[in-house]
Every structure is written in C-alpha cells, then in structure tokens.
C-alpha cells in the first residue's frame, strides 16, 4: 500500500511517499514559503506557493516527476493536537476535520495548518481516504494524577488547561521497537524513553502505555531543548509581565531564544559539544543544565513506572550524540546505570544496547521514524475500514 505522509505547517509542507509493506520511502520533499509567494505569476520574483492547495499541486507534480504514474491508497496526516477526544488515529471526514479545527486554541500554530493540509487534499482528491495521526494520542493513557495541574478546576473545565504531552507517535513507535529488542511483549515493557531532538521530551512507559511525559499543556514544559526553556518558575512570567514584557515577547523568549540557544548561544547540540570540548564555559554549563534536567526526569520516571526495565535514547541528539548520552548516564549512578564506552561511541542506524552487562538497567539507542509510524497507522486504519 502506497501512503502519502503529510506534515503540514503554517508555511511549509513536508511529505513522503511510503511503501508500507516494504517499509521504504519512495520519495520525499519539503515545500517552503507557503503563503509568501505569487505562485510564479506576475514578474516571478516572489518565490513560494500562494497557499496549501498550490503547495499540494507542487507535491503532486514532484511525486509524478519522480515516480511516474502511481496510485496512492491513502494520505496520513501528522496532526499535533488531538485534545481529550482522540486516543487513536482516525479516518478523516468533515466532522473530524471540524473537531481538529475546534482544537485550534490549544495549538494555534499547528492545528490550523494541519486542517489546511487536510482540506487541500479533500479538494484535490475527494475520494482519497485520509487519516489523522495525533501527536497527543499516545498520552491519552496518562492517569489523572499525572495530567492535572494543581490550579483551580475552572482552568481545566473552561479552558482545557491540563497536561496533554506530545511526540506521542515517536514515543509509541520507539516503545514497540525497544520491547522487541529486549524480546518482551510490548505490554510487559516498563521503561523511560528520551526523545531528544530540537524539541525534546521524556516519557514514562508502564506496560507499554504512557503514564507520564515531560511536555504538558504545550511542548514548552519539561526538558531543556534547542530553543525552549522547559520547566521554570511560572512567577518569572508574572515578573516579566509586570516589567512590561508583552505575551508575545515572553512567548518568543521562552520558545525561540531559550534552551541551548539561551545558555550557549547555539541551538545545535553538535556545536555546543564542540564548543564545550574547546573550553567554552557557557557551552559546558548548557550541557550540565540540560543533562541534569534529563537525569532528574529519568529518576522520577523510574519511580513512576515501578522500576524501569530500560532507558531508551532516540531522535537527533539521542541517536547521535554519544557525548550527551554519556553526560546523562554519569548522573544516573544511583540507578546503577553503566554505559559501555565502546558501544556508546559506535555509530549505527540499528536499534542497539549501549550499556554493560552489569548495568542496573539496559540503556538502548533506538532510531525513531515518525513518518513510518504515521504511514503504518494510516494503512491499518484504512484496512480496518474496508
Ligand atoms: P527535530 O526535532 O527538528 O526533528 P532532530 O531529531 O533532527 O530534530 O534533532 C536535531 C538535533 O540533533 C540537533 O541538536 C543536532 O545538533 C542533533 N544532532 C544531529 N546529528 C547529530 C550528531 N551527529 N551528533 C550530535 N548531535 C546531532
């Protein structure tokens, strides 16, 4: 089954055509600057498609140029926010599209863009089955004590203010692969998954289900990330508001100017590690803060899952930065964690164990593949609906 996977942002559209049975990518691409151009009309100086419908025409043309005539069986959309309603991928119809749209206030940058992508496909290919795969869905199993904030109930009942969690598609996929690597049925897997990319989150898995996760109402909560602060005292925001900062100023500072960028002046982990190794004190501090925050969460989640059977690293930093993994592991001595330096330093695209046989718990590196997970979920929904 050939599935087109779409990750639609407000001004960009990422796509992949996947052969689900073969697990392969047939072609992929990125259309940028949507809404910024004139679609090649006029004097042709302004680049970029006018809207998502025009971007989709470009995707269609690129796919056919690359692969010739082919029949897509379905389209799978990465949808950021599924709110409290969506715990599973769903086949999209008008009502589902409107339900995703009603969640716009919870994800103002993402859900409107996801809906534009869905509507563009519905218009171009009205009969094409479309499936929404939600970033929040895997965390619908969080118990109330993990998703509640200790604030007046009306904030939850009137505004939906609670913890939702994100990166769910990746955490679920990596959970399954980690369980397989340990020869465990997934429902017997208790562990901690650290998804460390530009955005980063860590999830506590008990019996194969998410029971706690570090991102909350938005992806800002939790770990120190590339440009996001993660956890801080909320009074800082009140303090800044009183000092004259606007909500937009605060939002930009916390989401775009903080994290590794705020501490070390650079949001790229490779550069921060290189700078620290060259003796840059700010870069060393950034690594210390970032690895300490993660180690604290891992300790907490070890308790939350009743004793983790594995610690799993994934995504850009988790899969590639042996230096950062080592920094985290050296703070986990209380759990008996011990990395094998040689295995940790090895580069590989395969799921693997990087701890010693004596380690208190196995430490794994498991590459994530969100597009693959979306394509497989899409195919499964379409098949079950036939
Ligand atoms: P996104 O959240 O944008 O999908 P990624 O999962 O691609 O992010 O992760 C991006 C991060 O991974 C960056 O901080 C980058 O420096 C880091 N990274 C990628 N490759 C390497 C590498 N070989 N060594 C160390 N860090 C790496």
C-alpha 61/C-alpha 341 separation (Å) is: 48
Q: For position 246, what pLDDT does the model report? A: 98
Crossing angle (nearest 10°) for helices 247-256 and 235-242: 130
Query: How far away, in angstroms, is 385 Cα from ligand 1 center?
Result: 37
Q: What is the pLDDT of residues 167-189, one digit of tens each?
A: 999 999 999 999 999 999 999 99
Q: For position 226, what pLDDT does the model report? A: 96
* The two structure tokens encoding residue 334: 């209380």
Confirm or reject: Cβ of 321 under 6 Å from ligand 1: yes
- pLDDT of 288 above 90: yes
- pLDDT of 296 above 80: yes
Mean pLDDT for the chain?
95
- Stretch 2-30: mean pLDDT: 95
Q: Which of 140, 142, 159, 143 is nearest to 151 (CA)?
A: 159
The backbone torsions φ and ψ at residue 44, rounded to the nearest 5 degrees and listed phi first, read 70, 10
Q: For position 42, what pLDDT does the model report? A: 46
Instruction: For residue 23, give Cα distances in angstroms to 14, 232, 366, 369, 375.
Output: 18, 41, 16, 11, 9
Q: For position 109, what pLDDT does the model report? A: 84
Residues 6+ apart with CB under 8 A from 342: none
Percent share of the chain, pLDDT over 70: 97
Q: For position 364, what pLDDT does the model report? A: 98
- Stretch 285-302: mean pLDDT: 98
DSSP 8-state code for residue 265: S
The residues assigned a catalytic role are: 135
Q: What is the pLDDT of residues 222-269, one digit of tens each?
A: 999 999 999 999 999 999 999 999 999 999 999 999 999 999 999 999
- Mutating to test ligand 1, I would choose from 255, 269, 328, 371 the residue with most ligand atoms within 8 A of its C-beta, which is 269
- pLDDT of 125 above 80: yes
Atom of ligand 1 nearest to the CA of 199: 2
- Mutating to test ligand 1, I would choose from 16, 197, 291 the residue with most ligand atoms within 8 A of its C-beta, which is 197
Q: State the pLDDT confidence band at 36, using cuts at 50, 70 and 90.
A: confident
Q: What is the pLDDT of residues 67-89, one digit of tens each?
A: 998 899 999 999 999 999 999 99
Q: What is the pLDDT of residues 314-355, one digit of tens each?
A: 999 999 999 999 999 999 999 999 999 999 999 999 999 999
Q: Domains (ranges, CATH) in the chain?
A: 2-134 (3.30.420.40), 183-365 (3.30.420.40)
Sheet holding 200-206, edge to edge: 209-213, 200-206, 191-196, 310-314, 363-365, 352-353
Instruction: For residue 265, give Cα distances in angstroms to 252, 324, 366.
Output: 15, 17, 29
């Amino acid at each position: 089954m050939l599935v087109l996977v779409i990750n639609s942002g407000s001004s960009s559209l990422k796509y992949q055509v996947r052969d689900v049975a073969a697990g392969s990518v047939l072609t992929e691409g990125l259309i940028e600057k949507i809404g910024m151009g004139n679609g090649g009309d006029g004097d042709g100086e302004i680049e970029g498609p006018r809207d998502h419908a025009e971007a989709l025409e470009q995707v269609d043309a690129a796919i056919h140029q690359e692969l010739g005539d082919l029949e897509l069986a379905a389209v799978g959309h990465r949808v950021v926010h599924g709110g409290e309603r969506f715990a599973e991928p769903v086949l999209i119809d008008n009502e589902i599209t409107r339900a995703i749209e009603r969640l716009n206030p919870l994800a103002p940058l993402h859900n409107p863009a996801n809906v534009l992508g869905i509507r563009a496909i519905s218009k171009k290919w009205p009969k094409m089955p479309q499936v929404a795969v939600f970033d929040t869905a895997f965390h619908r199993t969080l118990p109330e004590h993990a998703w509640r904030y200790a604030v007046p109930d009306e904030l939850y009942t009137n505004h939906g203010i609670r913890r939702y969690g994100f990166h769910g598609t990746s955490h679920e996929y990596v959970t399954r692969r980690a369980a397989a690597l340990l020869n465990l049925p997934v429902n017997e897997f208790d562990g901690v998954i650290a998804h460390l990319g530009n955005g980063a989150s860590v999830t506590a898995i008990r019996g194969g289900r998410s029971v706690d996760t570090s991102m909350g109402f938005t992806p800002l909560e939790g770990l120190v990330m590339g440009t996001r602060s993660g956890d801080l005292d909320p009074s800082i925001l009140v303090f800044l508001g009183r000092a004259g900062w606007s909500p937009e100023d605060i939002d930009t500072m916390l989401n775009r100017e903080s994290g590794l960028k705020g501490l070390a002046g650079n949001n790229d982990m490779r550069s921060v590690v290189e700078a620290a190794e060259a003796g840059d004190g700010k870069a060393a501090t950034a690594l210390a803060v970032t690895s300490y925050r993660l180690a604290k969460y891992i300790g907490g989640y070890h308790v939350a899952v009743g004793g983790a059977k594995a610690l799993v690293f994934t995504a850009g930093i988790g899969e590639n930065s042996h230096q950062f993994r080592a920094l985290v592991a050296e703070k986990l001595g209380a759990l008996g964690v011990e990395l094998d330096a040689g295995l940790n330093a090895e580069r590989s695209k395969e799921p693997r164990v990087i701890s010693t046989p004596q380690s208190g718990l196995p430490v794994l590196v498991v590459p994530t593949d969100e597009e693959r997970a979306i394509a497989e979920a899409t195919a499964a929904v379409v098949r079950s609906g036939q």
